């Protein structure tokens, strides 16, 4: 196992570090200390051919804007906060309205735009890097000084483990995630229509026309999103139902895990044989099939396009700030934040 680093210098900006982790099996994970952005996850297909299975820009300059949040750490709050406001103990807090009247993914200067401190480590059977930052109280409108650590671990079992930890000086709101777009084919010029997905979930959050939760849960069995059994994504990437129409043809919804079976999520590309199992202690995940990904940006191979990747954003849900019955995101000084998501890559031998 080894860790390599490369300095990235863009004119007029602080120097970034690109970390390159490789295990004894040949799997590699690359990421920046800028935004914690994952730029490469290279894994084999059934024939042993290694390809990058996450969307990444051809030029590092694109990450300065990164309107699609490719590969980035998201915080303080992943997802949308209705009307860019919330209350804690009866006091109202206003955050940036960076998507219409609403707040998205921590605002324009969220954690995806931060240069993180980084320290690497090597343990028995794993290597990794811990990214850390201090977010002052009222930064971006959020109360509480927040200490955050996010650790990327690569194991010899072809697992990428992301550990999230945080402590706050006063009661605040927090839910962190990673926004990588997966395309297990290794060919970003294709779409994910032929990927298959299984979700251990029976319901998802209904959205209005501004992609804000209505406060209602919908039963998966009554929609094209019934992924309790493995099925092709192509069945959901259309405009057949109101919930597909509001998200521009596809999926961009929060699914609540049933908690009974593992893995929580299984994604497959039958042609290459690559598989991705995801296990987490988060209560659910936003599944986003890049319906509104800005098109025409140069990737390492190909260009960004609609349905070119699938994001699996494990998290709690900011809908809980305005509705009951959703996973809470309030964080107190007495109970630090600790969450883990494990991505296990493998192959199936037959097509």
Q: What's the confidence (pLDDT) of residue 293?
A: 94
pLDDT at 163: 98
Distance (Å, whole) CA 161 – CA 278: 10
pLDDT band at 259 (very low <50, low <70, confident <90, very high): confident
3-class DSSP string for the chain: CEEEEEEECCCCCCCEEEEEEECCCCCEEEEECECCCEEEEEEECCCCCEEECECCECCHHHHHCCCCCCCCEECCECCEEHHHEEEECCEEEECCCCECCEEECCCCCCHHHCECEEEEEEECCEEEEEEEEEECCCHHHCCCCEEEEEEEEEECCCEEEEEEEEEECCCEECECEECCEECCCCCCCCCCCCEEEEECEEEEEEECCCCCEEEEEEEHHHCCCCCCCCEEHHHCCCCCCHHHHHCCCCCEEEEEECCCCCCCEEEEECCCCEEEEEEECCCEEEEECCCCCCCCCEECCCECCCCCCEEEEEECCHHHHCCCCCCCCEEECCECEEEEEEEEEEECCCC
Beta bridge partner(s), residue 269: 195
Query: Which tens digits make up the pLDDT trace of 167-176?
Result: 999 999 999 9
Average pLDDT, the chain: 97
58-62, 90-94, 121-125, 135-139, range with the lowest pLDDT: 121-125
pLDDT category, 350, cuts 50, 70, 90? Answer: confident
Question: Tokens representing 135?
Answer: 């977010």
6 is catalytic: no
> Which of 206, 270, 277, 313 is the catalytic position?
313
Of 102, 103, 105, 179, which is the active-site residue?
Answer: 179
22 is catalytic: no
Q: What is the pTM of this model?
A: 0.97
Residue ranges making up the domain that contains 53: 2-347
* CATH code of the domain covering residue 131: 2.70.98.10
Domain count, the chain: 1
Flag whether pLDDT at 351 surpasses 90.
no
């Amino acid at each position: 196992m080894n860790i390599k680093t490369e300095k990235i210098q863009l004119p007029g900006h602080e120097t970034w570090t690109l970390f390159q982790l490789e295990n004894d099996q040949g799997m590699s994970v690359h990421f920046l200390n800028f935004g914690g952005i994952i730029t490469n996850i290279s894994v084999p297909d059934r024939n042993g051919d290694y390809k990058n299975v996450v969307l990444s820009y051809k030029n590092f300059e694109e990450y300065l804007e990164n309107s699609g949040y490719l590969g980035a750490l998201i915080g303080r709050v992943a997802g949308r906060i209705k009307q860019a406001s919330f209350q804690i103990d009866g006091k109202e807090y206003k955050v940036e309205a960076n998507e219409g009247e609403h707040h998205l993914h921590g605002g324009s200067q969220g954690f995806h735009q931060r240069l993180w401190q980084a320290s690497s480590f090597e343990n028995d059977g794993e290597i990794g890097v811990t990214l850390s930052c201090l977010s002052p109280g009222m930064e971006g409108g959020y109360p509480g000084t927040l200490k955050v650590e996010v650790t990327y671990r690569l194991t010899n079992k072809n697992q990428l483990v992301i550990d999230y930890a945080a402590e706050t000086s006063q009661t605040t709101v927090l839910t962190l995630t990673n926004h990588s777009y997966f395309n297990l084919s290794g060919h970003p010029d294709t779409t994910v229509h032929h990927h298959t997905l299984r979700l251990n979930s029976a319901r998802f959050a209904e959205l209005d026309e501004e992609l804000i939760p209505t406060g209602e849960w919908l039963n998966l069995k009554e929609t094209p999103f019934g992924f309790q059994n493995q099925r092709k994504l192509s069945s959901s990437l259309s405009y057949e139902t109101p919930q597909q129409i509001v998200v521009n043809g596809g999926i961009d919804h929060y699914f609540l895990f049933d908690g009974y079976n593992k893995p929580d999520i299984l994604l497959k590309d039958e042609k290459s044989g690559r598989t991705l199992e995801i296990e987490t202690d988060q209560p659910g995940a936003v599944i986003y099939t890049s319906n509104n990904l800005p098109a025409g940006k140069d990737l390492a191979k190909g260009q960004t396009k609609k349905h070119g990747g699938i994001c699996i954003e494990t998290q709690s849900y900011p809908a809980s700030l305005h509705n009951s019955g959703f996973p809470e995101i309030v964080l107190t000084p007495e109970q630090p934040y600790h969450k883990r998501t494990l991505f296990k890559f493998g192959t199936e031998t037959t097509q």
